[in-house]
Amino acid sequence: MASTLAPGAGGTAAAVGDPVGASARAPGGAAGVRNIAPEADVSHHGHVSLWGYGLGVWLRSENRGPSDLAGVTVRVRTSVPLAARQELPRECLRAGRSTVLCRTGALRADGSAPWQLALELRLAGRPAEVVVRIDTVWNGGATDRNAKNSEHEVLAPATGDEYVF
């Protein structure tokens, strides 16, 4: 079966039919059955706080399904560079001058096993404010139709107060 484009809502187009080179059989061998990507609703919520050279990021990630996820990679980006030396939790790594990536582990579809993280980052200077961006970089290939609850941008003045996202 050749792929064709079908118009969707809002002027989008979706591929209909088998992708080029794809088999018409699912792993179980049923003819005409295609694999469908899992769907999940990942959300990140928490707060950030800026004081002196320190930036705290407290994060709670959960999945409201309908599919379980083996894990998610969360990206935390800052508008100012991080200090050269960082003590990061074992599930996190530095991915650039102002970026940290963290893996969540499994997230159940019913939200019953949220993942929590507390990051205490050191900044290269003492900014009056910092913008923190939090988003999902990888979710195992699942479709997330509500990305707004997993993409956040927070302005944190250097007051030591908590700014919620």
**Whether 8 contacts 20, CB under 8 Å:** no
Does position 2 have pLDDT exceeding 70, yes or no? no
Distance (Å, rounded) from C-alpha 142 to C-alpha 38?
5
Cis peptide bond upstream of 66, omega within 30: yes
Q: What is the pLDDT of residues 109-164, one digit of tens each?
A: 999 999 999 999 999 999 999 999 999 999 999 999 999 999 999 999 999 999 99
Tell me the pLDDT band of 37, cut-offs 50, 70 and 90: confident
Does position 47 have pLDDT exceeding 90, yes or no? yes
Q: What is the pLDDT of residues 7-35, one digit of tens each?
A: 433 333 333 333 333 433 344 445 555 67
Tell me the pLDDT band of 36, cut-offs 50, 70 and 90: confident
Distance (Å, rounded) from C-alpha 46 to C-alpha 61?
9
SS3 84: coil
What are the CB-based long-range contacts (under 8 Å, 24+) for 45-48? 45/149, 45/164, 45/165, 46/134, 46/164, 46/165, 47/162, 47/163, 47/164, 47/165, 48/132, 48/154, 48/156, 48/162, 48/163, 48/165
Question: pTM (2 decimals)?
Answer: 0.78
Residue 112's φ and ψ, nearest 5 degrees, are -80, -10
Question: Domains plus CATH for the chain?
Answer: 1-35 (no CATH), 42-164 (2.60.40.1510)
The pLDDT of 81-92, averaged and rounded, is 98
Distance (Å, rounded) from C-alpha 165 to C-alpha 73?
18
